[in-house]
Chains A and B, each alone.
Chain A
Amino acid sequence: NAGVTQTPKFQVLKTGQSMTLQCAQDMNHEYMSWYRQDPGMGLRLIHYSVGAGITDQGEVPNGYNVSRSTTEDFPLRLLSAAPSQTSVYFCASRPRTGVLAGGKNIQYFGAGTRLSVL
């Protein structure tokens, strides 16, 4: 049971460097999302996708790009890392049943990536 897999688990970057956080799920979930977790602020939505080829911005999208070329993968790109992007990042997925369609609507999370930008 792989579920949602995030890589890497830890990363240290210098200001201005770029990198991609990888996220893959093997549950055939249509809906995937990226969150960042900062002390005292809970989890905040960065970007999300309701299916391959479709992405949209969340609450804190600035400084991040995403793409969804396949159902399984949803990478998060930092084009020019800043110290303000030091955080723990979570990828999540769930079936696209929606509250109106019923279903459990349970979101599954990856193990997280701790990113430090110096």
Chain B
Amino acid sequence: AQTVTQSQPEMSVQEAETVTLSCTYDTSENNYYLFWYKQPPSRQMILVIRQEAYKQQNATENRFSVNFQKAAKSFSLKISDSQLGDTAMYFCASLGTASKLTFGTGTRLQVTL
């Protein structure tokens, strides 16, 4: 079974600053994927970034990047140049060979002026 832990229920960052959201996971598998999803007030689940566990290189998508530490089972999300539109709930998730996507409890990010 996989578990995903997000230890920061809420975070705040000023516009244009950088913020890092933490995520740790537990799995006994060698092959798995990790994801960050964004859920704005509209409630829509939006994929932000994904990482294959077998790739050592950290994934990046424009202002979003991850710090994937496989040995430590850590998968943090860094948002650079934060924008007001980044205000949302952020969920970390893992997908293993059992094909079940497991989510963390989420981090509510507020971007302020």
Contacts and interface: CB of A to CB of B under 8 A. Distances in A.
Interface stretch (A13-21, A60-68, A78-86, A105-113): A105-113
B43 A112 contact: yes
A40 interface: yes
Interface string B52-95: 00000000000000000000000000000000000000010001
Interface residues of A, number: 27
A99 B100 contact: no
Interface string A36-53: 000011111100101000
Given A42-B106, A99-B31, A106 B47 contact: yes
B28 interface: no
Taking residues whose C-beta sits less than 8 angstroms from the other chain, chain B's interface range is: 20 to 34
Contact of A109 (B44, B95, B97, B99): B44
Contacts of A45: 100-102
B36 to A, nearest CB: 12
Contact of B95 (A35, A44, A99, A111): A99
Interface of B: 4, 6, 9, 29, 31-33, 35, 42-45, 47, 50, 91, 95-97, 99-106
29 contacts: A31-B99, A40-B105, A41-B105, A42-B6, A42-B91, A42-B103, A42-B104, A43-B91, A45-B100, A45-B102, A50-B99, A88-B43, A90-B45, A92-B45, A99-B29, A99-B31, A99-B32, A99-B33, A99-B96, A100-B31, A105-B33, A106-B47, A106-B50, A107-B35, A107-B101, A109-B45, A111-B43, A111-B44, A112-B44
